[in-house]
Structure 1
Amino acid sequence: MNRPLSIGIIGAGMAGQAHAFGFRNAMMATAPDVTVRLRAIADPNLALAESVAARYGFEHAIGDIDELIGSDVDVISVALPNFLHSDVLPRVLASGKHVFAEKPIGRTLAESTRLESQASASTATTGVGFSFRRLPALAALQQAVADGRIGDVHTVRTWYYADYAADPQGALSWRYSQEQSGGGALLDIGAHAIDTLQFVAGEVTRVLNCTLRTEIGERPLPTRGAIGHGASTSTETGPVTNDDIALLTLELQNGAVGHVELSRIAHGVPNSLGIEVFGTRGHAQFESITAGEFHIFEASDDGVLNGPRRVFAGPQHPYFSDVAAMPGAGVGTGYAEAFVAEIQEFLRCISDGRRMDTDFAAASRMMRVVDAALRANSSNSAIDIDS
C-alpha cells in the first residue's frame, strides 16, 4: 500500500475506546507496507467523541454517524450497544469499506446470519473483536493442542467470571435488557468463552443443557449520558430481563464434552477468562488474569518427572513480538495487548487480501451456540446446533 489506511471509529464508549487504543498502538508494528491515519471518532455524544479523539490522537470528532460512513475513510470500526448493530452495520458494509466490529454482531442468530451474508458478498475485509484469541499465551496453547501435544481432546471447560454487575445499584443499562442485548452473561461475556472453547477444542454441535439465572432482578434507572457499569443514584427502578449466571454443558464435533461457566456477579473476580482442556496424553490450562503464561502437562512414558509445566509467553509465540514492550519472555502481555494484536491482524489481512479468522462467520458460529443455549434453557432439553 502506497498510502496510510485512514481509520474511523463509530462509538466512543468503553469498547470504542478499546478499539481506538488498538488502532493507536497497532502503529508500532503491523506489516512493512501498512501504516494508519487516525481520522475520526463518531458518536452522537459529541463531547464524548471529542474527548476520545483527543486522548487517542484522532484528527476529528463527529456527532453524525452517517457523515463518517459517507466519508473517504478506508476502514470503519464499529463498537456500539448490541441493539444498534443491526441498524448501523448494514450501512457500513454497504459502503464497501473495510469493517471491524465489536462482538456480537447481532442480538440474535437471525441478525448475525443476515450480517454474515452481507459481509460475505463484500470484497472488503471484515473482522470481529474476539480479542482473547490474540493473547500470545492462549494462542500458543491452542497451537499446542492443535499439534497433538496433549493427545485427542475429550474434555474442556471454559469460564468467564466478572463482577461488573455485582453491585445491585449498578444502573439498568441496555446490558440488562434481553431485547436490547440478546443475552446477559450468556452473550456479553459468554461470547468470548464460547469462542475460546471452539478456538481451542473444536466446534460445538449440541447444547446438552443450559441453566440461566437472574440474581439481581431490579436495578435503578440510569442517569442521562452515563456510560460503563457505574452505580446510579436514581430512585426509580426497572426489571432485569436477562441472566446474571449461565451454565452450559456441550458436545463437540470431535466427540469431546464441554462445560461453560459464566457470571457477571462474581464478587472479587473483576475479569477472568479461562480454559482447561484435557486429552488422552495430557492437559493444558490458561487464565487471563495471568495472561503472560499458560500451563501444559504432557504425560511421559516413565512417569518419573510427570507434572504440568509453566510456560511464559515469549517471542516464539504468536503476536508477542508485535505487542510486548520488550522482546523477551516474561515481560507480560495482557488485556490491552490483545486489542492491539487483533487490530494488527485485521490490518495485515487488509494488506494481504486474505480472510480474517475472526470474521462475521466466526461471530455466527458463536451465536449458533448462544441461540441453542437459549432454546435449551426454555425447553429444558438438549438442542442441536443449527448448521
Structure 2
Amino acid sequence: MTITRNLRVAVIGAGPAGQAHAFGFRNARMSDALSDVEIVLDTIVDPDTVLAQTVARRYGFARVAADVSQILDSGIDAVSVALPSSLSVPVLGSLLEAGKHVIGEKPLGRSGAEAAELVEIARATDRVAAVGFSYRRIPAVAQLQETVADGAIGDPLFARGHFFSDYALDPASPMTWRFDQEASGGGTILDMATHVIDALEFVLGGVEEVGACILDTTIAQRPTRDGSMAAVTNDDTALIDLRFAGGAIASVLSSRVGAGCPIELGLEIFGTRGHARYRFDRPNEWVLYQRDVGEEGTDAPRTIIPGPAARYFADTMPMAARGNATGYGEAFVAQMQTFLKAVVDGTPMDTSFEVAARTMRVIDAALASARERRPVAVTTPSEN
C-alpha cells in the first residue's frame, strides 16, 4: 500500500515503562489500520543519555536527547511520556502547548486537581491527549468486557479486582520517589489500584461512590543512598470499596508487598445470570459462567481462549492463530496502535485525559475516605 502519511514519534523516559512504549511504537505498524502510515522512530529523551542510547539502539530510534526542550520545536508529531508522577504534569502540558499529540503513563498526575489542569490544557488544543491503561488492551480483557456488555452474565451485581506485586517486600530495597507521598501522590493506590479501577470502569461504567478505603504501610522506613533511613509516607497496601453508577458494588485490593506475586492483576464480575473472571498470570484466557447454558446439573464455568476475532489479537500477534499466547508486550503494541490511529483519524482515544481524570477523582475520593473514615461521593467536574 502507498504511504500517505509520516508520523514521527518520541519517547520521554528511558526506564522500564518508556521501553515498553518504545516496543509498542516499534511494532505498531502491524495494524492494518496503519498500513499506509510510516511510523518514524525518532527520539528517546532521558537525562541519562547513556541509557537513552542503549534504548534507542535496542528499539530502532534514530537519536537521543537529554531534555524535553530539545524536541518541543521539532517536527515530531506524537510523544509518549513515561516519567514519575511529579514530573509528568509539566511535561505533558508543555508538549500539548507545543502542538504534540501525547500519551502518558498512568496515573494522570498526583491528584484530581492536577488531572483537571491537564484536561483543560488538552481541551484548548486539537491534539490527542491520552493515558495508556495497557491492561484493557489485552485481548482476553477486551473480549470479557464485550461479553459482559452484551448481557452474557445478566445485570452486574458485584465485582472484585486485585493487583499484587512483591517489588517492595524487601525492607532493604532503597527509598525512591514511589515511597514518597509528595513525589508520587500515593503508593500502591496510585501505582497499581488505578489499573484495577480503570479495568472495572471499562467493564462496569463509572464509579459514583467510595464506600470505604483502608491504607496500610508495612515497611515504615527505607534506606537512602547515603546510608540513612527515610520515612515511607504512602501506602504499601490499599483496600477500596466502590459503588458504580449502574448499581454494582466492588472491592479493590492492591499491594506491593504480596509475597510470591511478582505481578498479578485479577478481575471477577458477577451478574444475575453468571460471572466472568480474568487473571494476568494466565493472560491468554478468561472464564465465563452462564447459569442458563447447558442442561441442569451440568453447568460449569468454561475457559475461553481468544483468537483473531478478539479485539487487538490479529494486529499484535506475529502468528495470529488461536492458542498462541498474548500478554504484556502485545498490550503495549495495541496501546500505541490505538493512540496512533486516533492521531491519524483526529479522534479522541478511549483512554483520553477525561477518562484518566475520572479515575483520579475516584482516587481522590478513596484518599478522603481513608482520612475521614466515611463514604465519599466521586465528584464530577461541575461539582469541583
1:361-376 equivalent positions in 2, closer than 5 A:
361-376=354-369
1:98 Cα deviation after fit: 1.0
- For 1:351, the aligned partner's letter is V
Whole-angstrom CA distance in 2 between matches of 1:131 and 1:7: 19
Structure 2, gaps ≥5 residues long = none
Aligned mate of 1:191, from 187, 191, 194: 194
Paired residues of 2:108 and 2:360 also in contact (CA < 8 A): no
1:260 paired to 2:263? no
How much has 1:201 moved relative to structure 2? 1.6
Selected match of 1:359 from 352, 362, 382: 352
TM-score, scaled to structure 2: 0.96
Query: Which position in structure 2 is the counterpart of 1:43?
Result: 46
Aligned residues of 2:213 and 2:369 also touching (Cα < 8 A): yes
- Which amino acid in the other structure matches residue 15 of structure 2? G
Cα distance in 2, alignment partners of residues 304 and 95 from structure 1: 63
Q: Which runs of 5+ in 1 are unaligned?
A: 223-233
One-letter code of the match for 1:136?
Answer: P
Distance in 1, matches of 2:192 and 2:122, equals: 24
Residue type at the aligned position of 1:4: N
1:283 to 251, 272, 275: 275
Normalised by the length of structure 1, the TM-score is: 0.95
| 8 Å contact kept, 1:30–1:345 | no
In structure 2, the residue corresponding to 1:363 is in which secondary structure? helix
Question: Which residue pairs with 2:235 in the alignment?
Answer: 243
Structure 1 ranges of 4+ moved more than 4 A? none
Amino acid at match of 1:249: D
Are 1:292 and 2:289 matched, yes or no?
no
2:88 matched to which residue of 1?
85
**Matches of 1:21 and 1:272 in 2, distance apart?**
21
Residue type of the partner of 1:27? R
Alignment partner of 1:321 out of 314, 326, 338: 314
Q: Give the equivalent residue in structure 1 for 2:29.
A: 27
| Superposed CA offset, 1:284-311 (max 9, x none) | 0001111100000011264232111100
Contact 1:10/1:43 (8 A) holds in 2 = yes
Partner of 2:335: 342
User: AA paired with 1:352?
Assistant: D
1:203 aligned residue:
206
Structure 1 contact 12–42 (Cα < 8 Å) conserved = yes
The answer for the alignment partner of 1:2 in structure 2 is 4
* 1:193-218 per-position Cα deviation (integer Å, ceiling 9, x unaligned): 11011111221100000000000011
Corresponding residue for residue 135 of structure 1: 138
Tell me which moved more, 30-39 or 104-113.
Answer: 30-39
For residues 245-286 of structure 1, give each alpha carbon's deviation from its aligned partner in whole angstroms, at most 9, with x where no partner exists: 000111110111110010001011011111000000000000
Q: Which has the higher mean CA deviation after the structures are superposed, 65-74 or 372-381?
A: 65-74
Aligned residue in 2 for 1:121: 124
Residues 172, 219 of structure 1: 8 Å contact kept = yes
C-alpha separation between the residues in 1 aligned to 2:150 and 2:38?
34
SS at match of 2:233: coil
SS at match of 1:198: helix
The one-letter amino acid of 1:250's match is L
Q: How does 1:142-157 map to 2 (within 5 A)?
A: 142-157=145-160
Moved more, 296-305 or 88-97: 296-305
Whether the 8 Å contact between 1:134 and 1:342 is mirrored in structure 2 is yes
The question of whether the paired residues in 2 share the 8 Å contact of 1:283 and 1:296 is answered with yes
The secondary structure found in structure 2 opposite 1:77 is strand
Aligned residue pairs total: 376
Q: Percent identity?
A: 45
Q: Hey, what's the Cα distance between the residues in 2 that align with 1:46 and 1:26?
A: 25
Deviation at 1:30, TM superposition (A): 4.8
Task: Check 1:269–1:58 CA distance in 2 against 1; reply closer, same or farther (3 A cut).
Answer: same
Q: Is the CA contact 2:162–2:267 (under 8 Å) kept in the aligned structure 1?
A: yes
Structure 2 partner of 1:100: 103
1:334 partner amino acid: G
Question: What residue number does 1:218 align with?
Answer: 221
The whole-number CA distance in structure 1 between the counterparts of 2:224 and 2:356 is 31
Q: Which of residues 59, 63, 78 is equivalent to 1:60?
A: 63
Q: CA shift at 1:70, angstroms?
A: 2.0
Q: Report what 2:14 is aligned to.
A: 12
For 1:228, the equivalent position in structure 2 comes to none
Contact 1:248 1:373 in 2 (8 A): yes
Q: Is the 8 A contact 2:138 2:327 kept in 1?
A: yes
User: Given that residues 275 and 288 in structure 2 are in contact (C-alpha distance below 8 angstroms), is that contact kept between their aligned partners in structure 1?
Assistant: yes
- 1:12, CA displacement in angstroms? 0.9
Alpha-carbon distance in structure 2 between the residues aligned to 1:23 and 1:332: 20
Distance in 1 between residues matched to 2:16 and 2:110, nearest whole Å: 19
Cα distance in 2 for partners of 1:30, 1:258 equals: 37
Report the Cα distance in structure 2 between the residues aligned to 1:321 and 1:299, rounded to whole angstroms: 31
Match for 2:285: what amino acid? E
Contact 1:44 1:65 in 2 (8 A): no
Indicate whether 1:273 and 2:273 are aligned. no
Aligned to 1:164: 167
CA distance in 2, matches of 1:264, 1:310: 29
One of 362, 372, 376 as aligned partner of 1:379: 372
Look up the SS of the partner of 2:42 in the other structure. Answer: strand
